[in-house]
Structure 1
Amino acid sequence: MNTAGGLAEPGPALPPDSVPQTVDQVAAVARLYGEPLFALPTDLYIPPDALEVFLEAFQGPLDLLLYLIRRQNFNILDIPMADVTRQYLGYVEAIRKRNLELAAEYLLMAAMLIEIKSRMLLPPRKVEGQVEAEDPRAELVRRLLEYEQMKLAAAELGRLPLLGRDFWRAQAHIDTTVELRQPEVRPEDLREAWTEILKRARLNQHHKISREQLSVREHMSIVLKRLQGQRYVEFERLFEVERGPAVLVVTFIAMLELARERLIELTQAEAYAPIYVRLAYQPV
């Protein structure tokens, strides 16, 4: 019944079996929400690239042909060439005018299908030495089986874990540079070096009585000045043996104080080797 606005009010839905499939001997072309559709809408919009996108989803004409066969459960060893060729040509015709570059290889396969169909209509031609005539579909079946086998193998490989897609390689930076470390100077080495300097000092003793004011800070400055501009200075060369044991003791204490304050470094190349002294900082 009509409403006040003139729009038709839909009645109760009927079961699909009770809906007529023909009206005035015109068959329905489709169903829309369970209702038969007897004519396509005139304002139906189909994107110009819709079928191109569909065909580009196939990996070539063999992929499309295999899709048509498997979708309808055809026996691949006994392909109904008439049905398959008709469906295949329907897909190819849809893109022939839009994308010739894409349709070229599909048209080549279409020509092959038409040739096979034509050969099947002709009387079989036997070859000498063969009991039965060769099936025109044999070469196509062989190519389809090989393609399907490779496609399944590629799918199996695609399911394997892939570096960069499913997992990432763990990386850890290891510093391989080797820093040369000088052997540390032990207290025993300093004691032995000090004993040797005292022995040398006794050989240079002077019997002169004098009073001298000695400053540890002053000798610290003297040692630092002597080390400036020098890469290494031998431990024994920093002592003025001729000035007597008192100066040697003050100088030794000054060097210990400088080492404690990390102003100088005491190094040796190996155990029992000569001891060398250098500045622990670079003067400006």
Structure 2
Amino acid sequence: MSAMSQGGADAASLDSLAQALTAATAADMPEVVDQVALARLYGEPLFKLPQDLYIPPDALQVFLEAFEGPLDLLLYLIRKQNFNILDIPMAALTRQYLAYVDEIRASNLELAAEYLLMAAMLIEIKSRMLLPPKKTEDGEEAEDPRAELVRRLLEYEQMKLAAQALADAPQYGRDFLRAEVYVEQALVPRFPDVSASELQQAWRDILQRAKLVQHHKISREELSVREHMSLVLRQLQGRKFVEFGELFDPEKGAPVMVVTFIAMLELAKETLIELTQAEAFAPIYVRLAYTPA
């Protein structure tokens, strides 16, 4: 009997402890529907804002208007309030201007220096307007204290409108691009010139092939360069291009090929033939540099 009563007391104490924990947890949570978390921090639910959250004073600062200088600000205030620029109410304009200067002084003292100079000028103009007008020595009325300010504002507005017109004009690279079309100027193709090293290499190849088929026959033969010049010209007549190697006959031996090569050099020197190639390192071709009669 005593054991049963002790077990019931333990169960009652556990139930009361669970109810107390539930009440304490509910008391810490804000009064939101279904205990929805306000946010999540590192994946953990956040049911109320931390008390030590620091927000810098400049974090929520918003600049709605950006002005390029004091004249820009004055012109903005005048146009916004529909003031007559030739009859400016200096009291209202100065009050609005000083309110803006007080705002920028709190955040940027270097920027406010230029605006403070214009503020001093506005206060001076306002003070001069409160004084009775003085006549000049000629008996004419003195110039309006606002005249100089009006002149500067009108000039600034003209320059600003002109700058805006230039910015809105079509600009190369931003609004349009220049069309470029390549037009072939010459109908006759120009082939690359043959360098001396390429001609030398071609000659070495021909000599190498000639050594493979040369005959071991010793004989004396008188060869004429002029005669071989005529032979080369005769081979080129009626043909547009002839490969460099076709003008040499390896079976006639190296002396004949040497004389033929000298004859070709003489013809090229006298601009009777042209040595050309389609591209660099391409086969070399020979053709007549004149049109036969």
Under a length normalisation based on structure 2, what TM-score does the superposition of the two structures give?
Answer: 0.47
Structure with the bigger percentage of helix:
2
